[in-house]
Structure formats: C-alpha cells, structure tokens
Structure 1
Amino acid sequence: MTDWVQHVIWWHAHPLTFTGAERDALPPGTAPVPRLRRFEPWLDYLVELGCNGLALGPVFASATHGYDTIDHYRVDPRLGTEEDLRRLFDECHRRGIRVLLDGVFNHVGRDFPQFQDVLAHGRDSAYASWFKLTFHDDGGFDYADFEGHRHLVALNHDEPAVADYVTDVMRHWLAFGADGWRLDAAYAVPVPFWRDTVSRTRAAHPGAWFAGEVIHGDYESWLHDGALDAVTQYELWKAIWSSLNDRNFYELAWALDRHAKLSEPPLTFVGNHDVTRLASVLTDVRQLPLALVVLFTVGGVPSVYAGDEQAFRGVKRDREFGDDEVRPPFPDTPADLVPYGWPTYHLHQQLISLRRRHPWLHRATIVPVQLSNERFTYETVSADGEHRLVVTLDATGTGDDGPSWSIREPD
C-alpha cells in the first residue's frame, strides 16, 4: 500500500447531485456548465473538518446518474470541462487534499459508442466481443446487464481489449493528477481482471491507491488475488448501525473480529451515496456519536459522506429516483448550512483530531474487554502492540440521559 493512505481521511461526494446538475445528459451542442467549481468553497470546510481527501463520485460523461458512462475520457458537460477538473485538482493539491476518482468499469450506458456500434452492426461489429451477447437466428441479440438494469450494459471482462481500455483510462487520469481509484461494483467483475488491470496501472503509477466496492463475500480474495489495496467495509457498516438499533453489541464484536483479521486496512464508513443516511437509519439518533466513535477508533481508511458530518437525513428508497434523499444538492457555501448540524460537525472534528494524534489507528486491531448486549468496551491496539486506547460504548441511557461513550489511554 502506498504510504500516504495511512494518513488520509476522505470526504466523499456525488458530484452531479452535489452541484445540482440536471438528471439527464445535456443535449448535443449545449455548452458545458462549470459546476465542478462549486466544490471550491467547500475545500477549506473539508480541511477544517479534519479530512485531507476528496473522494469524487463519477465525473465522466454519462447519460444520467454517472454510473451509465458514455465516455470515460471526457468530463461530463453538466460538470464542466477538463480544464474545470484540472482546476479542482490543483485547488485540492494546493491544500494537501488527495483526490479519488470513481471508476465504473463493470458496465457502461447504452449510449457508449462501442455498444452503439454493436446495435448498428450486430455480430459484425468490431466491438461485439466487448459485451456479453447472445445472438439469435433472426440476427437480433440479447445482452447481459447490471443487476437487471437494462440501461447498464455489462462489459465482457474476458476480452483483452476491454482490459486494455480500462487500464488506459486509469493510467490517463492518474497522469492527469488523480491519486487513486474507487472501483465501482468490483464485486461483479472477475477477480483476475482486477489483478491484470490494476497491476499494469500500478506499474506506471506506483503511488496510486485502488479500493474496490465489495458488498459481501470473501474480502481477502479481492485484496490478494485481485491486487486491490482495499475493499469497502460493508460488513462493518451494517454491524455498526444494526447493533445500535437492536441493542446487540455482540453483532458489532463479531464484525470487528473479522475486520481486524483483514490483511489490508479497508475503506470504512458509516454512510455513502448508496445507503440511507446514518441519522435516518438509527432508531435513536442520540446513538449517532457511538457509531462515529467506532468509525474513528478502528483500523481502516475512514470516509465521511458529505452531509453526514452535519447530521443530514435521507432515506434510500427502492423506486425510480430513490437516491434523491441521500444525494441532495448542497448550498453554495458552508455558511448557508442550517445551524442544527454544527454540533455533529464539531464531534467529527474531535474524533478526527484524536485519530490524527494516533496515526497507528490505521492498522489497529481490536481486543474485546467487556461485552454485553448494551455495553461494549474494547481496546484498539497498534500493530506493534506499543499503543492502546480503551473505548467504551454504552447504549443503556434512556430519556435525557442518552447513550454515552468514552475513549481513554489505559493506565
């Protein structure tokens, strides 16, 4: 793993919705709108929070939400131009902020030119092997999609030309100034494909970091066999809020035991652009500080989903536009935020400051000390065993005397 990741804490944003962009791609010939510049007033806010990384959702030309890519080499005109992305990179790097890009390489949108060529020429297309196609006797064909979404066309990852294409895209934007890649839907892609493309990309950019979106399964296979640096820790995410809602810290202890055995620190989070906001998923919002304490005292590479630090609410719904509540447009500047979120912001600052004072937490392991349904004390221990913190989570409080937590150095 590259050294800088030991100290990074991401602030994660979905650019198209963050900036209030249109739902659909701009009509051909429409001038690009430089919305990426809307991030600039938020960069100092990010740094003051304690973060030093900006994890961007999709920024490349797409048909709608960014995950139906049309052109991986072009900035989405709804966000601006390549010059606008360059300016954002420069403003980030001037402040010591790393930038993570979102690579959607499992599938593409139906308007992806290579797929349009297949639609026009069928099996005679030079790109027919790029996709998982089933041809019929009448000359028509069917294609594999992503999880039943017909507008998301699955790529054929056994095709060498696809691997070459993905490798070139990743190298292109790392040379442009990106510091790493979040690999969308990595779990849906054959593991050998990642080993091939990531290894070739890393050869040209040894300082880059690659984190795969993995929801469940054998995390180690993506780390070892897929040559990824990290996976998204969905198992821990679920255990954090679920154990608080159920008043069952045994679930959290079980997840932390598995978490501590990972060979590489994963990308940890209590919220992202695909799930219900933490302040909404918790039955008792007073438990929110306990979730944050876990995030910032266990090993990993923490990520804060933009707005969670202000206790934004939002429920992900299983319907069209079901992500709207968890992906709202942001105001022009932090000064335009409503007042009630700032106490949560200051709690984030407090906990991130603690993590900054104890950088060994990046690779920390967990030793349970005392465990019951509603109370959990654990030691978080440095890899060399030289440093320890004692963390206590108490979910027994009721009424005005709500849940409590403490972090201390052992006597």
Structure 2
Amino acid sequence: MRSEANVNWVDNTIWWHLYPLGFVGAPIRDQGGDEGESHRLLQVIDWLDYATQLGVSGILFGPLFLSSSHGYDTLDQFTIDPRLGTEEDFDLLLAECKKRGLRVLLDGVFSHVGSQNPQVLAALAEGPDSPDADLFDIDWDASGGPQPRVFEGHGSLVRLNHASPAAQTYVSEVINHWLGKGIDGWRLDAAYSVAPWFWAKILPAAREAYPDAWFLGEVIHGDYVEFVEESTVDSVTQYELWKAIWSSILDENFFELDWGLKRHNDFLEHFVPNTFVGNHDVTRIASTLGANGAVIAFAILMTVGGIPSVYYGDEQGFTGIKEENVAGDDAIRPRMPETPEGLLGFGKATLESHKALIALRRRNPWLVRATTEPVLVEHTRYVYRTISEDGRRHIETAISLEGAGSVVIRDQDGVILWGKPTI
C-alpha cells in the first residue's frame, strides 16, 4: 500500500458527488437534435458557491467523456462529451473550482468501453492483427465470428484486455492526461472487476509524476483491505457501511449498524474508506427512509470515520427510486435548475441540517480517522462514542427511532453540538 504522506489534503475533504449528464439536463438516450457544440457544463459553475456554502471541499464528477449514452459506455476518454461542452469549458470549470479551493475528482471508466467505441469497431473489422486488437478482451474463435467479452452481461460494454501492454498504456495515458490538466485524482469505476495487480502496475507511475494524486476504487463487495493492499488504491467505496446505515434505520435494528461500525473500525486500521449514504447507482436515501430518516442517516455519516461524499440533491431531500429498466437511473440522476435560485423551498430544512452537520465535521477534522465504540445498543436506540486516533478527543451520538426520530451529538464535556429535532 502506498505512503499517505502526499495525500494528506484528502483528510479535510468532503466531496459533493455530481452526475454531470443528469445535473445539466443533457439527453441520455435520445440525442436527436443535440448535435454540435453545447456548453451545458458551464452551468455547474453557477453551483460552485452553493457547494462551498454547503460546506463541501471537493467535487466528485461522474463521467464527463465522450460516450454513447449514460457516460459509462465511453467512446473517447480524451474528449469532453459534446453534450456537456468543450475542453475549454472544462478548463474554465476546473479553474473556477480551484479559485474556490474545491478539489476535483474525475470518474475513470477503465474496466470497459462502449461497444461503439471506434477502436473496438476497428479491431473487430480488421481482425487479430489490428493495431487495436490487444486493447480489448475479444474471443477471436467464438462461434459465429469474433465476440467481445462484456462487462457483467451488458452487451454495450466491452471489456479491456487488462493483461495486455496496450490496455495498460491506454489507461496510464488517460490518467496522466487529465492529472496534467490539474485534477486532483480519480474515481476508478468498477475497480472491483479488474485484477488488483493491474492497478498496482498503473498507479505507481502516475504517482511518480503526480505525487498528490488520490485514487478511489469503486468496490461493492469482497475483501476491502486485501483489495487496497494489493491494488495500492488509496481508498474504496464503503458499501458495507452504506447498507448498515439505511438498513438499520429502516428495519429498526441498530444491532446491524453496530456490527457495521465494528467492521468499519477494522478497515480504518488499514485505510480510510470513502463513506456515503447516496450515490448515482442507488435509490435516494430520502426515498428509502423519508426526510427524517435521511437526516438521521447523514448525521451518522458525519460522525464516523471516513472520507465522506454527499450525492447532489440529497442535501435537499430529493427522492428517486432506482429501477431495473432502460430508464431506471433517470429518477436518481435528475436535472438541477440552472442556478440554485431555481430550487423549490421544500428542501430548506434538510439543507440546513446538512450544512450544520458538515460544519460540525469540518470543526472536528480528526473525525476522518476516528473509530467508534458502542455505549448503548437497542433495536430502536443507539448511542456510540467516536474517538480520535490519539484517544484524546471524542464525541457521543445518541439516536432514537421512536416517534419522528431524534439525534443528539455531544462533545466530551456533554455540551450539545447538534440535535434533531432542535434540543
């Protein structure tokens, strides 16, 4: 595993996670009438002051690169998707983020590309002697002719041939190109689906050129610690804790959360996970738990160790249910108004709770590596203490699911730092 000496900046980072195509209202499937140059990406600039007022310190962008539809079926990862804008638009957006002290993380899809990627089509047309043949995982002897191997059964997503020098060179070039533009790191999409040795081969060279770069691997299941150690990524997505938080509240079973936090403590001994209660792939937390439950979930997120991310709209109490159909992600990846002034008032209370909890987190930066211990565990009540790495500081969080639910967070002297409802 890598030394953390060069990425201490991330200890003070809370990410605001955006899905850009949805955020700016770009067409996902039916792109008719959207030909030519667009500058939708510039709309994000009008939200950067909102982000800093929310209290976040970095923007985690979903896919920005040229793709066929949803962004993860990439056609060219050196080109900004024209549905979003131009490279000049991106440069301006990046500069405006930096002006406000916001770090920038991009989404790198290095497990697969879109089936209509020009290099895929060229390889299939020209055969195994094609210059691009080794870049992709193609069964050249398949019945009926060459067949690309695909990602998790999705025919539109063609796997890279990660064992080939061509794929390793390609991924390295994309990573370094955008780091050279000034971004701070990468979210590695579907990192779990790629052998850890591949990342261990790619990332050291990137770090040699860009020592401050931070790499977050999307890992849904499996041995997190083993993956981090073998791959050398800095962090992985903590899906275990995500599930424990919402499920324990929904099922009124805080024994599940207590077990999840014990597991989380173990992970913190080895690396600092990326924690969240919402992202672009899951049902909105407010749809799962309701408005009150969503704030309780966020209070937990802000009072345990980790590098947290806030999915855009969750701070407003947005709802949306993920469905298993062609448009199944639309509800959880919505368009935002062109400016924050276009938001409706229904999210104000949720927003204020998020701001207060993020501010609490930022006043106590030691929380990033803090571990927890239970004080009281019952089905509908849970009290836990969050203790600094050096053992000198702690806060105590008391949660009850009775009635509308409540949370009280106290410092080590018993002073109330935050409460819901107002205490």
Normalized against structure 1, the TM-score is what? 0.96
Identical residues among aligned pairs (%): 49
Match of 1:385 in 2: 391
CA contact (8 A) 1:25 1:62 kept: no
**Residue 175 (1) aligns with residue 180 (2):** yes
For the residues of structure 2 that align with 1:289 and 1:313, how far apart are their CA atoms? Answer: 13
2:399 counterpart letter in structure 1:
L
For the residues of structure 2 that align with 1:138 and 1:394, how far apart are their CA atoms? Answer: 60
Runs (5+) with no aligned partner, structure 1: none
Match of 1:43 in 2: 48
For the residues of structure 1 that align with 2:16 and 2:142, how far apart are their CA atoms? Answer: 51
CA contact (8 A) 2:393 2:412 kept: no
Runs (5+) with no aligned partner, structure 2: 414-423
| 1:247-326 alignment runs, 5 A limit | 247-262=252-267, 263-282=270-289, 284-326=290-332
**Residue 11 (1) aligns with residue 52 (2):** no
1:191 counterpart letter in structure 2:
P
Match of 2:250 in 1: 245
**Cα drift, residue 138 of structure 1:** 7.1
Match of 2:417 in 1: none
**RMSD (CA atoms):** 1.5
**Residue 369 (1) aligns with residue 371 (2):** no
CA contact (8 A) 1:223 1:229 kept: yes
Match of 2:341 in 1: 335
SS at structure 2 position matched to 1:353: helix
Normalized against structure 2, the TM-score is what? 0.93
Give the one of 150, 158, 164 matched to 1:145.
Answer: 150
| 1:74-93 alignment runs, 5 A limit | 74-93=79-98
Deviations 1:91-146 (A, max 9, x none): 00000001110000000001222211112112232222222222237771122111
Match of 2:421 in 1: none
Give the one of 102, 107, 110 matched to 1:105.
Answer: 110
**Residue 225 (1) aligns with residue 203 (2):** no
Structure 1 runs, 4 residues or longer, greater than 2 Å off: 24-31, 135-139
Cα 1:309–1:29 shift into 2, 3 Å: closer
Match of 2:354 in 1: 348
**Cα drift, residue 23 of structure 1:** 1.7
**Cα drift, residue 293 of structure 1:** 1.0
Cα 1:296–1:138 shift into 2, 3 Å: closer
For the residues of structure 2 that align with 1:234 and 1:243, how far apart are their CA atoms? Answer: 14
For the residues of structure 2 that align with 1:78 and 1:25, how far apart are their CA atoms? Answer: 12
CA contact (8 A) 1:122 1:139 kept: no
CA contact (8 A) 1:184 1:213 kept: yes
Deviations 1:343-367 (A, max 9, x none): 1011011101111111000100011
Match of 1:408 in 2: 410
Match of 1:70 in 2: 75
**Cα drift, residue 27 of structure 1:** 7.7
1:303 counterpart letter in structure 2:
S
SS at structure 2 position matched to 1:225: helix
CA contact (8 A) 2:34 2:83 kept: no
**Residue 54 (1) aligns with residue 59 (2):** yes
CA contact (8 A) 1:275 1:316 kept: yes
SS at structure 2 position matched to 1:124: coil
Aligned residue pairs: how many? 406
Q: Which moved more, 1:17-26 or 1:242-251?
A: 17-26
For the residues of structure 2 that align with 1:209 and 1:82, how far apart are their CA atoms? Answer: 22
Deviations 1:357-400 (A, max 9, x none): 110001000111111111111110111111100111111x22xx
1:267 counterpart letter in structure 2:
N
Deviations 1:33-53 (A, max 9, x none): 011101011000000000011
**Residue 21 (1) aligns with residue 26 (2):** yes
Deviations 1:293-348 (A, max 9, x none): 11001111110000000000000001111001001111011111110101101101
SS at structure 2 position matched to 1:178: coil
2:337 counterpart letter in structure 1:
P
**Cα drift, residue 196 of structure 1:** 0.9
SS at structure 2 position matched to 1:78: coil
CA contact (8 A) 1:274 1:323 kept: yes
**Cα drift, residue 286 of structure 1:** 2.1
For the residues of structure 2 that align with 1:409 and 1:233, how far apart are their CA atoms? Answer: 26
For the residues of structure 1 that align with 2:34 and 2:398, how far apart are their CA atoms? Answer: 58
Cα 1:28–1:60 shift into 2, 3 Å: farther
Give the one of 195, 198, 208 matched to 1:193.
Answer: 198
For the residues of structure 2 that align with 1:28 and 1:172, how far apart are their CA atoms? Answer: 31
